[in-house]
Chain A
Amino acid sequence: MATKTNMPDVLIVGAGGTGAVMAKELAEAGLGVVVLEAGPWHDPQREFNGLEWDMFNPFDSLFRWGPLDRTKTPWPRVRDGIGLLFQTPGVGGNTLHYGANHPRAYMDSIETDWPFRYRDLVPYYYKVEETLPVQVPEIAATKDELFIKGCEAIGIGHVAGPDIRTSGWRMQPNAILPIAEDANPLVYPNTDGCVQCGECIVGCRNAEGAPLERTAKRSTNVSYAPLALKTKRCEFRTGVFVTQIVTEENEGTLRARAVQYREADGSLKEQEARVIVMACGPVETPRLWLSSGLPDNGHVGKYFTTHWFDYITGVFPHEVNMFEGQTSMVRAEFPGYGFFESQGAGPLTFALATSMGPKAVTGEGPWALSGRTWGSALKRRMEAYRRTLMLVVCVDDDGLAESSVSLAPGVADENNPAPLVRYRASDQTIRRRDWLSRRAAEVLIGAGADPDSIHRADAPASTVHQHGTMRMGFDPSRSIVDPNGEAHGVAHLFICDTSIFPNGIGGPNPTLTAQAVATMISERIVARYFAE
């Protein structure tokens, strides 16, 4: 096998949730790997300050989607039927921002739509779970204890994980180091692990003073990417944006040969590689594909799913302190519908998540109010922040052809035409979301929340979770990549991010499954192009 040379064996575009996994697996298999990543490689201890606005506002924050120079405006995106778009540049990608809940897919969702069996994925699940590692917390914060109490009060029983086929609540599998021991001072190495600060989605920087690899939340910038570097066969080039996949035709076969990318100073460069892997996520991967003029069988960019979240809240007579503990430490599974979980948040995230729905309506469910709360109603809800429990509902949404990523006519940034991201929900998706939201409201009431306080946000769709647009399948006329992750119409070109999901895996958080599939694809790449 080749070692690192001027021409790498494999070039990976994007070092987020999946690109970094691919880099580690291929480099450990002995290949020379180059990773091109749009954002920087952050130092959480120095750069993350725990403040919601500074960390992830969509305009000029550390996690905003735009040029490295944050005095420049963010990259424009055109949205239709969708609220906020979450795209985080940097090694780690959206896992910098994520909650690190790492459940496996619902078993039946893989059996129905994927081009392999659930059992084929299981060894890869184990591998990722051990590498990160994924842990089930042994204790629960108040918000999570209340969640369990509410589930039991309305007859939702316990279900054992990790392989889920039936309904029930269970402790949350999280890609977070084990809960640390108390120590004085609460500083590494006295303290090593999760310190329960409640800031997972703000960007983890704890335990204080910990080296990068011991950061509690296992975003790929602190887990897989350092492991890839350790092989000395992997190079990360950060702050560079890939603008084209360069192909050549050989005896009637199209093959990927190189990529063109823009350096931070604006200059364009080309990098060849034997194999190219796209790991840019479900918005940027189809955008790059279409901007490169790669073949479109009519399905590129289609069947986008987002688990169309909703947020149900209830106020208790006592303190809940949703900001304490891992962001979510418990969840309830409902195969066929999706799931919901406890959700901690700082005041700004809480306010925004729960107040941007359609005009408020009353009397349509077990909630006192559904829809937006602005004005004095928002103020009163915020005054009850410390006594509020928030549940987030994630729906098993249908991938429709109308839900898509395409190139927006007449809008561009310095790299390429901007993506137009469109989301539509089927009637079935809406029914499942209503059903889950009702159950979540009942859990809150069962746990002791004041029934008159129950609020359903009916939030607009966002892309906290995002999948589809470059589906995996056997049939080249209906999917973009084959079951090995290689593009049907372009040899030597693979995709490994969540865009290849043929469905939303039944509702569970997608990253563990995406990382397991990326691990599987890495083996297929080695077998197909680098076997001795």
Chain B
Amino acid sequence: MFFHIVLERNMQLHPRHFGRDLREKLVSKLMKDVEGTCSGRHGFVVAITGIENVGKGLIRDGTGFVTFPVKYQCVVFRPFKGEILEAVVSMVNKMGFFAEAGPVQIFVSNHLIPDDMEFQSGDMPNYTTSDGSVKIQKDSEVRLKIIGTRVDATEIFCIGTIKDDFLGVISDPGTTS
């Protein structure tokens, strides 16, 4: 799920950036530092959408670096148990397959793949129905449901299922999507 929230961060800026475009430097550094990171609490920071306010800088003893407390708005993505996501299959093996929904990695183990799909090894390992009409392989798009998340301080990993109504391959050439 996406959220638009306000976060705060203390930015350290090298003295060489002090000048007319100090603020721009600060913002671009913030983007570089923060976008794409993940915190267990808020999820993945997708994009910074605005700066709320930049506090007074504090000069560090000895180094000359200045610390600015920066409040910024950003879009975060946080997967939840029970959430339905659309994801791209990144890897298939006999244990199941991995898929990515943006920054989130999801593993679907083989017992959460419908029983009528069987693993086929080979160059392009895949799960295929017995009549061959549905195939899950690398780069397939699937709709899956998250059944568990592991949230660490810096990463979120999910496990999902496609064994439910309306879940499974959505980029099937046979279907219009």
Question: Do these two chains really belong together in a complex?
Answer: no
Interface residues of A (CB under 8 A from B): none
Interface residues of B (CB under 8 A from A): none
